[in-house]
């Protein structure tokens, strides 16, 4: 869907055509992306909530749509929204730290987000979305970019400090740190029961508060 803001629409078109990680990669051509880039990014001039993730995985690379995988199912359950609401750009902008699938390591895990993306695009994108009121930062790379001095030494410490981070950031655009919703993190969630008991209900509340229907009423959203 083309954004109605012409400047943002033009920037999204440039991002869609981006081949920096293949043609001019950080560290030289020996570090080039080994497959054809397919940037995945949903920026919006209307969304009040930004999901700042890591990078597309294999399924998202194939679909060209963010969070079309089990991680997306878990994330939507945390947010208390269905797919229609999640993929509505008037509700959510979805901008990962790296726009293209970075490939996998020797153990089959996804590599970190490509280093080229954030310096090339992120500040410009954020500057064209002043209407944002809540940023959900997912995983350590998004924490590092968005939280600055509010970030703690470990991901667990950062997420556990979510109340203070919300309080300190809420004057302009509130920020909430999250772990990655990957099923690889199921062990982390079991070891940290406070996450689903305390943070997730507040997360749903914040998301519901920022999603409105045309009459200004809270939209119907599942909280199961």
Question: 40 lies in a domain?
Answer: yes
pLDDT at 159 over 70: yes
Q: Are 117 and 97 in contact (CB under 8 A)?
A: yes
pLDDT at site 172: 76
Q: CB-based burial of residue 48 (10 Å sphere; 0-12 exposed, 13-18 middle, 19+ buried)?
A: buried
pLDDT on residue 56: 94
Domain that holds residue 30: 6-210
Domain with residue 149: its CATH number is 3.40.470.10
103 in a structural domain: yes
175: β partners: 135
Q: Read off the pLDDT of residues 4-42 as tens digits, 9 standing for 90 and up.
A: 899 999 999 999 999 999 999 998 999 999 999 999 999
Instruction: Pull the structure tokens for residue 41.
Output: 């990014």
> What pLDDT does residue 50 have?
98
**Is the pLDDT confidence value at 219 over 60?**
no
Contact status, residue 69 vs residue 128, Cβ threshold 8 Å: no
Domain assignment present for residue 223? The answer is no
CA distance 29 to 24: 7
Q: Rounded to whole angstroms, how far apart are CA atoms 221 and 224?
A: 9
Banded model confidence at residue 96, pLDDT cuts 50, 70, 90 = very high
Q: Per the domain annotation, does 78 fall within a domain?
A: yes
In total, how many domains does the chain have? 1
Both structure tokens of 143: 């924490």
Q: Is the dihedral angle over the CA atoms 149, 97, 88, 198 positive or is it negative?
A: negative
CB 174 within 8 A of CB 137: no
pLDDT at 108: 80
Please tell me the predicted confidence (pLDDT) of residue 221. Answer: 43
Tokens of 64: 């060209």
Q: Give the other-Cβ count within 10 Å of 102's Cβ.
A: 23
Give the pLDDT confidence score for residue 103 in this predicted structure.
93
């Amino acid at each position: 869907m083309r954004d109605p803001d012409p400047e943002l629409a033009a920037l999204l078109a440039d991002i869609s055509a981006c081949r920096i990680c293949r043609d001019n990669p950080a560290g030289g051509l020996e570090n080039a992306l080994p497959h054809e880039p397919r940037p995945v990014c949903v920026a919006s001039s209307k969304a009040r909530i930004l999901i700042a993730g890591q990078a597309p995985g294999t399924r998202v690379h194939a679909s060209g749509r963010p969070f079309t995988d089990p991680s997306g199912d878990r994330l939507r359950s945390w947010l208390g929204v269905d797919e229609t609401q999640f993929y509505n750009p008037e509700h959510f902008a979805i901008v990962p730290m790296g726009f293209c699938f970075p490939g996998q390591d020797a153990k089959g895990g996804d590599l970190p987000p490509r280093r080229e993306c954030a310096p090339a695009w992120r500040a410009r994108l954020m500057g064209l979305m002043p209407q944002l009121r809540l940023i959900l930062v997912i995983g350590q790379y998004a924490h590092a970019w968005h939280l600055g001095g509010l970030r703690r030494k470990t991901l667990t410490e950062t997420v556990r400090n979510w109340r203070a981070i919300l309080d300190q950031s809420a004057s302009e655009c509130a920020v909430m740190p999250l772990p990655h919703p990957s099923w690889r993190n199921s062990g982390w969630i079991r070891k940290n029961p406070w996450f689903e008991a305390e943070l997730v209900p507040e997360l749903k509340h914040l998301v519901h508060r920022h999603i409105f229907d045309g009459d200004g009423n809270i939209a119907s959203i599942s909280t199961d």
